[in-house]
Structure 1
Amino acid sequence: MSVARVSIQTADFDLSEEVAALRADDKRVGAVCSFVGTVRDRNDGSTVASMELEHYPGMTEKAIEAMIDEAHKRFDILGARVIHRVGLLQPLDQIMMVAVVSAHRGQSFEACEFLMDYLKTQAPFWKKEQTPEGARWVDARVADDAALARWGIAASNTSV
Structure 2
Amino acid sequence: MRLSIRSLPTALLLATACTQALAAKLEDVAPYPKADSGFTRSVIRLPEQSQEDNYKVEILAGKTLEVDCNRQRLGGDLQEKNLEGWGYPFYRLDSVIGPMSTQMACPDSKGKFAFVPVVGDGYLLRYNSKLPIVIYAPKDIEVRYRVWSASASVGKAVAE
TM normalised by structure 2 equals 0.29
Greater percentage in strand: 2
TM normalised by structure 1 equals 0.29
Q: Who wins on radius of gyration, i.e. which is larger?
A: 2
Greater percentage in helix: 1
